[in-house]
Amino acid sequence: MQSSLPLTIDRASGVPLHLQVAEQFRAAVMDGRLQAGHRLPSTRDLARELSVSRSVTQAAYDQLHAEGWIEGRTGAGTFVTDVAPLQPAVRRSKTPQPDADPKLLTLRPGIPYIAPTPDPGWRRAWREVSTQSPPRGYDDAPGLPALRAALADHVARVRGIACGPENVLVTNGTVHGLRLLLTVTRHPGDRIAIEDPGYLNAVAAARDHRLEIVDVPVDEDGLQVAALTGEAQAVYVTPSHQYPLGGRLPVARRNELVRWARRTGSLLIEDDYDSEFRYDVAPLPALAQLDLERVVHLGTLSKTLSPALRLGWLVASEAMVDRLAAHRKSTGDWPAWPMQAALLAMLRDGYLDRAVRRSRRLYAERRTLTCEVLAPYGQVIGQDAGLHITLLLSGNTDDRHIAAAARQAGVVVAPLSEYRRTIPGPPGLVIGYATPSAPDLHRALTVLTTVLAHR
């Protein structure tokens, strides 16, 4: 049924009739079909036009009046107001995220392979969670006690860090732990040394905390400890696989770094993001193994299971953990119970160990393939560990240009220059080989080599 206003009633829709009238009225004003000052029919006339009861049109007018879309003028009738209603503040964006195009193959570093079907160990852990009631309430700011104990055993076993539950704080991943640490222990203007090139999210965290960043050079072995000066009060470092160049900090440098921190009273922040993966090389001690008073160690599930889980751990002195936990109590910012309970089940079951072993086999093959295919196009470095390699290119190459051309051809890679701040170095590409399926990795490498051959 049509009326003198652009309204139609649909009795089959199940939506109450007065709401249909009000909604269509709003839409007509928003898109200009009804102009400010337009005189409306009376509720009685509109009810007749629409073949509805007057209570329907009255309810619609009351609603529109309350919301400010219409106004009554004494003796003259009801009019569309000339005050343009506020547009909703948040509009849905139609532009897709840059990397979200499903047709693009991604070789950006940092994301593990996620099997399309979850395996029995994963399902068992979640079933176990679903049979439990949640704990009482706000008691577990540092993390579930049983999970802290299981994580202490885990890092002692796989990273050699002698610690107990009192040294462990459960986090939503590395960046969450890092930001908490900076919030609680740093003041604006404090100086923090960060590897250059280095991890962009660590740099962003330091900037957001208004810290002064001291750029420290990196070579094929990782952070150049000898370049640290006394001015830094904290150091953020990726010793197990320097991000992004891939060096593994040798024992002598680790010792030197800890000695330097003891001498200067600095805090060392060890980002241990992908230490689970190394290929044909001996393990190196975690920095935190050397001195838990000077080192805060950050671990994550983001590379072993998935970044989507948002779960990790921070290992530090008991006093530091207590300080961080006390701050958390006032923010309510700690991982949700179901996630923590699931991780506990996965650790107890040996699921995490099995998943890491399986991924290590998978990534070892992909790493070999990636190195072989790319070796003719530059110098491959950082291949002993982790989920990515870096391909150094000849000095005059514009790596951003190569990355843009690769993207045009359907493959996303990260230009090395993206990670550099002030310290110059050769151009390159940072290439993650873990994310795609095996056939997609082949395809992506073929595309990339074609782009590199035509540079």
302 binds ligand PLP, rule: CB under 6 A? yes
Residue 213: CB minimum distance to ligand PLP, A: 16
- Exactly one of 25, 61, 69, 199 binds ligand PLP (CB under 6 A); that residue is 199
- Exactly one of 18, 21, 110, 405 binds ligand PLP (CB under 6 A); that residue is 110
Give me the torsion for CA of 73, 79, 83, 88, rounded to 10°.
Answer: 130
Sheet holding 70-73, edge to edge: 39-40, 77-80, 70-73
Three state DSSP letters for 140-183? CCCCCHHHHHHHHHHHHHHHCCCCCHHHEEEECCHHHHHHHHHH
The nearer residue to ligand PLP, 46 or 311, going by C-beta atoms, is 311
Residue 315: phi, psi to the nearest 5?
A: -120, 130
- Exactly one of 61, 113, 243, 260 binds ligand PLP (CB under 6 A); that residue is 243
The nearer residue to ligand PLP, 112 or 165, going by C-beta atoms, is 112
Q: Which stretch binds ligand PLP (CB under 6 A): 22-30, 131-139, 168-176, 222-230?
A: 168-176
Q: Residue ranges of the alpha helices (H) in 51-119?
A: 54-67
432 half-sphere exposure, CB direction, 13 A CA radius: 22
- 217 forms bridges with which residues in the sheet? 196
CA 428/CA 400 separation, integer angstroms = 9
307 binds ligand PLP, rule: CB under 6 A? yes
134: buried, middle or exposed (CB in 10 Å: 19+, 13-18, 0-12)? exposed
- Exactly one of 273, 351, 363, 419 binds ligand PLP (CB under 6 A); that residue is 273
300 binds ligand PLP, rule: CB under 6 A? yes
CA 297/CA 275 separation, integer angstroms = 12
Residue 64: CB minimum distance to ligand PLP, A: 48
174 binds ligand PLP, rule: CB under 6 A? yes
Residue 312: CB minimum distance to ligand PLP, A: 5
Residue 188: CB minimum distance to ligand PLP, A: 23
Please give the residues from 111 up to 140 whose contact with ligand PLP meets the rule CB under 6 A.
none
In this structure, what token pair is assigned to residue 161? 């860090």
- Exactly one of 165, 173, 239, 428 binds ligand PLP (CB under 6 A); that residue is 173
Which chain residues interact with ligand PLP by CB under 6 A? 110, 173-175, 199, 238, 243, 271, 273, 300, 302, 307, 312
